[in-house]
C-alpha cells in the first residue's frame, strides 16, 4: 500500500506540474507576444499577489454567502470523531471544522487551509447517505486538504483568468490597430489573432483536466484512508442515480456535456476505478 501511495503521489504530482506549467507557458506567451518582457514579470507578480490574497481569505466569508451553520462537537459527535480519525490518518495538523448547509442538494464542500479548513455538508447529503458512505465522502474531502488541491486549483484559476484578460486586451489592441495595417498595406498578424482567440479555451480545458485529475487522486487517497473503496463507490452511485434521474427528466436520452468540458470525471469511471 505504501508503494501504491508513493507511486500515485509522484504520478499525480508530475501530472499537476505539467498542466500548471502548460497554463503558465500560455499566459506568459500571450503577455510576451503582446506587451514584451515586462508582461511576463507582471504576470508572475499578479499570480503571486492573487495566491497570497486567496490563501488569506477567511473561509467564514464564503460560508456566510452559502448561509452555512457551524456544527459543534456536541451537535454531531460522531461526525467530529470521524473527521478527527481520518485527519490523523492523513497526517493533517488540523482537523477541518464541520458546517451544515440547509440545502436539499446532496453535496460536500471543502474550503480554506490549515486552521481555516472547513467541510460543509448539506442536509440532502446527510439524508441520502448511510454512515459507511458518509465516511467515504469525508475521507475524499480530507484527501483534498492533504494534497493542497484547493491551493492548486486557485493557482489554475488565477492563470486562467489572467490569460482571458490578457487575450481580451490583446485582441482589443489588434482591433484598434487595424486602420494602421490597412493604411500601411500590411496584413494583420493572423497567427497572433488565432493564438489570442484560442488561448483562453486551451487554458480552460487544462484547468478542467487538472480538476478531474485531483478528483481521481482524492478518490484513491480516500480509499487508502478508509480501507473501504466500496463505501465511497456506493455513495457515488447514489449521487449518480439521483442526479442522473433529474437530468434525464429534463433532457431525455441526452448527455449533459462532453467529458472534456466537465470539472469532475464521470461517476461511472470513478466507481470503476474504486472497485478495481
Q: Higher confidence at residue 166 or residue 59?
A: 166
pLDDT value of position 174 = 86
Q: Is the pLDDT of residue 109 over 80?
A: yes
pLDDT in tens, 161-194: 888 988 998 899 888 888 887 788 788 788 888 9
Cell 437530468 sits on residue: 247
Cell 488565432 sits on residue: 194
Q: Which among 197, 21, 223, 242 is positioned nearest to 140, based on CA atoms?
A: 223
Ramachandran region of residue 251, left (φ > 0), alpha (ψ -120 to 50) or beta? Answer: beta
Q: Higher confidence at residue 71 or residue 50?
A: 71
The dihedral of CA 164, 170, 174, 175: what is its sign? positive
- Average pLDDT for 93-117: 90
The dihedral of CA 52, 264, 92, 100: what is its sign? positive
pLDDT value of position 251 = 47
What's the whole-model pTM score?
0.83
pLDDT value of position 222 = 95
Helical packing angle, 229-250 and 267-275, nearest 10°? 160
pLDDT value of position 43 = 74
Q: Higher confidence at residue 9 or residue 267?
A: 267
Q: Which among 106, 135, 136, 130 is positioned nearest to 120, based on CA atoms?
A: 106
Query: pLDDT exceeding 90 applies to what percent of the chain?
Result: 42
Q: What are the beta bridge partners of residue 122? A: 101
pLDDT value of position 99 = 95
pLDDT value of position 254 = 47
Q: Is the pLDDT of residue 208 over 70?
A: yes
- The pLDDT mean for the chain works out to 84
Of 11-25, 83-97, 130-144, 195-209, least confident by mean pLDDT is: 11-25
pLDDT value of position 197 = 93
- Average pLDDT for 205-214: 91
Give the three-state DSSP class for 155.
helix
pLDDT in tens, 231-265: 999 999 998 887 654 444 444 444 455 677 788 88
* Alpha carbons 240 and 193: distance in angstroms, whole number: 42
Catalytic residues: 141
Q: Is the pLDDT of residue 97 over 70?
A: yes
Could you please report the per-residue DSSP string of 96-146?
A: PEEEEE--SS--EEEE--GGG-EEEEEHHHHHH--HHHHHHHHHHHHHHHH
pLDDT value of position 21 = 85
What is the side-by-side strand order in the sheet with 118-122? Answer: 69-70, 97-101, 118-122, 108-111
Cell 484547468 sits on residue: 207
* Alpha carbons 165 and 26: distance in angstroms, whole number: 13
- Average pLDDT for 123-139: 95
- Contact between 181 and 187 under an 8 Å Cβ cutoff? The reply is yes
Amino acid at each position: 500500500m505504501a508503494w501504491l501511495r508513493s507511486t500515485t503521489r509522484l504520478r499525480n504530482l508530475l501530472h499537476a506540474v505539467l498542466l500548471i506549467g502548460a497554463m503558465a507557458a500560455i499566459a506568459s506567451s500571450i503577455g510576451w507576444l503582446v506587451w514584451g518582457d515586462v508582461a511576463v514579470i507582471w504576470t508572475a507578480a499578479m499570480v503571486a499577489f492573487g495566491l497570497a490574497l486567496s490563501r488569506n481569505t477567511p473561509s467564514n466569508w464564503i460560508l456566510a454567502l452559502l448561509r452555512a451553520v457551524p456544527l459543534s462537537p456536541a451537535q454531531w459527535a460522531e461526525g467530529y470523531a470521524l473527521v478527527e480519525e481520518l485527519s490523523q490518518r492523513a497526517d493533517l495538523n488540523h482537523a477541518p471544522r464541520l458546517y451544515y448547509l440547509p440545502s436539499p442538494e446532496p453535496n460536500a464542500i471543502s474550503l480554506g487551509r490549515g486552521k481555516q479548513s472547513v467541510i460543509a455538508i448539506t442536509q440532502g447529503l446527510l439524508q441520502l447517505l448511510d454512515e459507511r458512505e458518509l465516511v467515504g465522502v469525508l475521507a475524499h474531502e480530507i484527501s483534498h486538504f492533504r494534497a493542497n488541491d484547493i491551493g492548486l486549483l486557485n493557482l489554475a484559476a488565477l492563470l486562467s483568468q489572467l490569460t482571458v484578460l490578457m487575450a481580451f486586451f490583446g485582441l482589443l489592441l489588434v482591433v484598434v490597430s487595424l486602420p494602421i495595417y490597412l493604411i500601411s498595406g500590411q496584413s494583420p498578424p493572423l497567427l497572433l489573432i488565432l493564438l489570442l482567440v484560442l488561448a483562453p479555451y486551451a487554458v480552460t480545458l487544462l484547468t478542467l483536466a487538472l480538476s478531474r485529475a485531483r478528483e481521481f487522486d482524492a478518490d484513491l487517497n480516500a480509499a487508502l484512508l478508509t480501507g473501504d473503496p466500496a463505501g465511497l463507490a456506493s455513495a457515488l452511485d447514489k449521487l449518480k442515480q439521483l442526479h442522473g434521474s433529474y437530468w434525464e427528466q429534463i433532457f431525455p436520452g441526452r448527455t449533459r456535456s462532453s467529458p472534456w468540458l466537465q470539472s469532475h470525471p464521470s461517476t461511472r469511471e470513478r466507481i470503476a476505478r474504486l472497485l478495481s
